[in-house]
Amino acid sequence: MDDPIDALFTEDTIQWVIGLPAYQREPIIELIGKPNSFENVAQLLVTATAANTYRLGAAANTGDRTTFLASVKVEIRAYLCGDQRYKKERDGLFEEKGITRTFLVSAIAVTIGPHLGVAAPELAPVVALILASLGKITVNAWCASTAPAPDPITIPTS
């Protein structure tokens, strides 16, 4: 494994959720048991209404909640796959010895939260679920398989 983070993806994917605090972990485990995929549960979390749970970002409007998960995925991909805006944080993280899932989830949530307008503790369960949804794939393989679409080619009209 070339990337130190890859070792975290070799075990049971539910371990990403197990590291969350009980108040976040228990509802997620219940939803996964329904059965739902990790990604489906993440979508349920970000589209939930105040009637049954607290919204991400509390009272602040987070925009269209149905597209919020896609925005989180874009930011996680940028973080994990080496986007320049997260280079300092990512490089610092991988200098650490003994990176744990909980530490990685927290580091990503803290780093991307400001870009999404969401507090890290509210974002952490979604980050954990997205990382769990990667399964047992290496980060490099995931980055390659989720590469952003190239810019459209503009054909001159004259």
Longest dimension (CA), the chain: 63
* 39's tokens: 């990604």
Q: What is the pLDDT of residues 123-147, one digit of tens each?
A: 999 999 999 998 888 888 888 887 7
Where in the chain are the domains?
A: 4-145
Average pLDDT along the chain: 80
Residue whose pair of structure tokens reads 């744990």 in the numeric block: 100
* CB atoms closer than 10 angstroms to residue 81: 17
Instruction: Give pLDDT, residue 2.
Output: 57
Instruction: Give pLDDT, residue 148.
Output: 67
**Lowest mean pLDDT across 16-20, 86-90, 109-113:** 86-90
pLDDT greater than 60 at residue 1: no
Q: What is the pLDDT of residues 57-106, one digit of tens each?
A: 444 444 556 688 888 999 999 998 889 999 888 888 877 767 788 889 99
